[in-house]
Amino acid sequence: MDKITINTPLDMHLHVRDGEMLKNVMEYSSKPFAGGLIMPNTLPPISSREEILSYRKRIVEAIGDEQFEPLMSIFFKSSYDYELLESIKDLILVVKLYPSGVTTNSEGGVLSVDLDEVGETLSAMEKLGIPLSIHGETNGSTFEREAEFLPTYELLAKSFPKLKIIMEHISDRRTIELLDKYENLYATVTLHHLTVTLDDLLGGALKPHLFCKPIVKTSEDRDALQNLVLSGHKKVMFGSDSAPHPQEQKESGNGSAGIFSAPVLLQGVVELFDKNGKLENLQAFLSDNARRIYELNPKEKLVTLEKRNFTVADSYGGVVPLFAGEKLSWSLS
Ligand code: DOR
Ligand code: ZN
């Protein structure tokens, strides 16, 4: 096959920032995708009804004439009660929970993810039918952070059986086992965790543009994630975690975590499914699973790619992308 059309591709985990950066990066998502779940870890984080509305407005302005539905989120606070959540339910798709300090702009996150601290809010979300999106890492040793968080996922899944819980950007093969163990657990997977390993990040030269949280892991983890998504697993959605930072900030002595993958996402995902002879499961991963899990009904947008070499630029809008300077085998038509 040398052409493929994806029906209504969705990016269910996306950072587009604010201000000038938002204006610079939005088109790389709004052209190829029909919609995306916008993360709330701006500075300051999105944490009120007014902030959701005004942030959405700035995003819509940056989208301009493209057809792209920004699905909004709010930054989890233990102070959110039933009344507050009820008043914003129609504006958001998820509440995003960050343990404090685990990643970029997560300082206002929760100090400990235990039932004393988050139980009441989660119980209200469960009653209202608002899904919980989680950055599931501890502040432990870099390579073990996601694995150390697994008991917390289990605790939450058991304590709130009607709450949909999305394990974001899963990166460790040990996390995969939980998906089939609890009905209410779901996952997103990024393109970079499907293609990049720790050896790529620092096995040769140090590649700061491949630095992200959760950190990329071993080839065994990457292969397990590939098998999971290539199988078309119904609880797994595509969520890029595309997270732009200015080049100077990534290349400094105190480099920020985040990989800007938006310009290469569909090309990279199609290449992966094509190389593995699994194109029949591409539509489920890029759209259908998310629609079913989140009960979405997005406006149809057909996006076609063709098998034609695409050389990734060194920089887009002042940000160095994933696969900068490399050649991919699929292009957007
Ligand atoms: O690497 C990351 N960057 N991981 C995250 O969870 C957040 C993101 C960002 O906002 O830069
Ligand atoms: Zn993220």
Residue 36 is inside which H or E element, if any? strand 35-38
Q: How far is the CA of 3 from the centre of ligand 2 (A)?
A: 31
Question: Locate tokens 């007014």: which residue?
Answer: 50
pLDDT for residue 98 is more than 80: yes
Q: How far apart are CA 30 and CA 18, in angstroms?
A: 15
* Closest ligand 1 atom to 15 CA: 10
Q: Measure 135 CA to ligand 2 centroid, in angstroms.
A: 7
pLDDT at 294: 98
pLDDT by residue (tens digit) across 174-185? 999 999 999 999
CA angle 242, 246, 251 (to 5 degrees): 105
Q: What whole-number percentage of the chain has pLDDT above 90? A: 98
Closest-lying ligand 1 atom to the alpha carbon of residue 41: 10
Greater pLDDT, 205 or 1: 205
**Whole-angstrom Cα distance, residue 121 to residue 285?**
30
- pLDDT score of 1: 76
Model confidence pLDDT, tens digit, residues 214-240:
999 999 999 999 999 999 999 999 999
In this structure, are residues 12 and 188 in contact, taking their beta carbons and an 8 Å threshold?
Answer: yes
Instruction: Indicate the burial class of 202 (C-beta count within 10 angstroms; 0-12, 13-18, 19 or more).
Output: middle
Please tell me if the CB atom of residue 17 comes closer than 6 angstroms to any atom of ligand 1.
no
Establish whether residue 104 lines the binding site of ligand 1, counting it when its CB lies within 6 angstroms of any ligand atom. yes
Q: Catalogue the E-assigned strands of 54-168.
A: 69-71, 73-75, 94-97, 132-134, 165-167
Catalytic residue chosen out of the listed positions 11, 172, 221, 241: 241
Residue nearest to atom 3 of ligand 1 (CA): 258
Tell me if 258 CB under 6 Å of ligand 1. Answer: yes
Model confidence pLDDT, tens digit, residues 23-72: 999 999 999 999 999 999 999 999 999 999 999 999 999 999 999 999 99
Phi, psi of 188 (to 5 degrees): -110, 155
Contacts of 202 (CB under 8 A, 6+ apart): none
Q: Which amino acid is at 141?
A: S
Task: Indicate which residue's Cα is closest to atom 8 of ligand 1.
Answer: 258
H or E stretch including 294? helix 289-294
Q: Are 329 and 307 in contact (CB under 8 A)?
A: yes
| DSSP code at position 298 | P
101: CA distance to ligand 2 center in Å? 13
Residue carrying the six token digits 């060194």:
314
Residues 6+ apart with CB under 8 A from 99: 106, 109, 110, 111, 112, 113, 135, 137, 138, 139, 149
One-letter amino acid identity for 155?
L
Other Cβ atoms less than 10 A from the Cβ of 149: the count is 23
Distance (Å, whole) CA 136 – CA 44? 21
C-alpha 193: how far from its chain's center?
11
Q: Is 41 in the pocket of ligand 1 (CB under 6 A)?
A: yes
**What is the residue-averaged pLDDT of the chain?**
98
Assigned token pair, 184: 């209410």
Quick check: 104 and 257 in contact, CB under 8 A?
A: yes
Q: Mean per-residue pLDDT for 248-257?
A: 96
Question: Which atom in ligand 1 lies closest to the alpha carbon of residue 169?
Answer: 6
CB of 150 sitting under 6 A from ligand 1: no
Query: Which residues, 6+ apart, have CB-to-CB distance to 203 below 8 Å?
Result: 197
Q: Is residue 317 scored above 90 in pLDDT?
A: no
Q: Is 274 among the catalytic positions?
A: no
Per-residue model confidence as pLDDT tens digits over 81-95: 999 999 999 999 999
- pLDDT greater than 80 at residue 156: yes
Q: Which domains does the chain have, with CATH numbers?
A: 3-332 (3.20.20.140)
Q: Taking a C-beta distance cutoff of 8 angstroms, is the pair 191, 163 a contact? A: no
pLDDT at 260 over 80: yes
With a 6 Å cutoff on the Cβ, whether 250 touches ligand 1 is: no
3-state SS class at 3: strand
User: 278, exposed or middle or buried, with CB in 10 Å at 0-12, 13-18, 19+?
Assistant: middle
Q: From the CA of 306, how far away is ligand 1's center (Å)? A: 30
Q: How far is the CA of 241 from the centre of ligand 2 (A)?
A: 4
Separation of CA 193 and ligand 1 centre (Å): 13
| pTM (predicted TM-score) | 0.98
**Burial zone of 50 (CB within 10 Å; 0-12 exposed, 13-18 middle, 19+ buried):** exposed
Closest residue by CA, ligand 1 atom 7: 104
Closest residue by CA, ligand 1 atom 2: 258
C-beta separation of 106 from 114 below 8 A: no
Instruction: State the pLDDT confidence band at 193, using cuts at 50, 70 and 90.
Output: very high
Q: Any idea which ligand is nearest the CA of 259?
A: 1
